[in-house]
Copies of this chain bind each other. A is one copy, B any other.
Amino acid sequence: MYTIGIDLGGTNLRIGLFNEQGEVVEEYSRPTESEKGPEYVINNMAEIINALKDEHTIHAVGIGSPGPLNPYEGVIIEPPNLKGWINVPLVNMLEKKTGLPVKLDNDANAAALAEAILGAGSGASSVFYVTVSTGIGGGYVLNGKLVSGAQGSCGEIGNMIVNPNPDAYQGPGLNKGALEGLASGTAIGRIGNERLGITNGAQGVFELASQGDKAAQEILDEAINYLAIGLANIVHTVNPEVFVIGGGVMKSKELILEPLYEKTKQYLYPSLRDSLIIKPAKLDQKAGLIGAGLLAK
């Protein structure tokens, strides 16, 4: 018995064949070409799935996709990373073309599931996955199961308000003072540009900070402080056993993990401080595909 996992990215479409142990036994990758429209991309998916179906007994298909989307209705709503894909009934379309049951969730949730089951959070009863990249997202896995939320918006912590001041920064589509506007890779790059004239984004700030530049370090300290508030707020809301932190910004994890841990600890009830566990993600770019495979289970 096999399952198929699909990592539908803005750039690449990855399709994996998974055995019962959740291991990838075959893998396909091609450009998504999302600009050619849903019908074209979904036909490409169906073609590969149907070819795999001829050779193996396939149980179900899981898809991780950029959000917003509705995991219950299987509809992609209007992702910034899939331009022109508006209210696409992806699950319905793919089920018709393949005859297989299809499960859709957003890419951060898929990655959360992968890290919780097979990655850095493996063995923990509850895992909150946080990805800090161009945006900030997350996913919550409780007793081995993804918590999707009533409208599928569990883990949308990029929009958590961590600074209610009227002059707090407001990123596009976000609350004023939202975590993503203050602590994402994009935010670090923006502030680096404003204060230090850096033009190569967060990477430039990390480089300067690792060379001992104080102004760059201050930018990181501020972002880490907001991330710590975000994590502490999650602890006091659902008290997960383990945090797993992934995303592009974690390429500089030696500058982030330790101060993030110390800061978050300070913001917890004293009785919770010694139990705080923050781990770096383990599966990297593979998390989305592996998680999609797990969604199919």
Contact = CB atoms under 8 A, between A and B. Distances in A.
Contacts of A163: 163-164
Nearest to A271: B68
Contact of A238 (B175, B226, B238, B269): B238
A175 B157 CA distance: 20
Nearest to A242: B150
Given A154-B238, A237-B154, A237-B234, A271 B77 contact: yes
Given A161-B229, A163-B164, A229-B164, A153 B239 contact: yes
Interface residues of A, number: 47
Contact of A147 (B232, B234, B238, B268): B238
Interface in A36-77: 68, 77
Contacts of A225: 164
A276 to B, nearest CB: 10
Taken together, the copies of this chain in the complex come to: 2
Nearest to A228: B161
11 contacts: A142-B142, A150-B241, A150-B275, A151-B272, A152-B239, A154-B237, A156-B236, A156-B237, A157-B236, A159-B268, A165-B165
Interface in A157-171: 157-165
Interface in A242-273: 267-269, 271-272
A233 B154 contact: no
Contacts of A233: 160-161, 233, 237
Contacts of A140: 237-238
A175 B267 CA distance: 6
A240 B150 contact: yes
A126 interface: yes
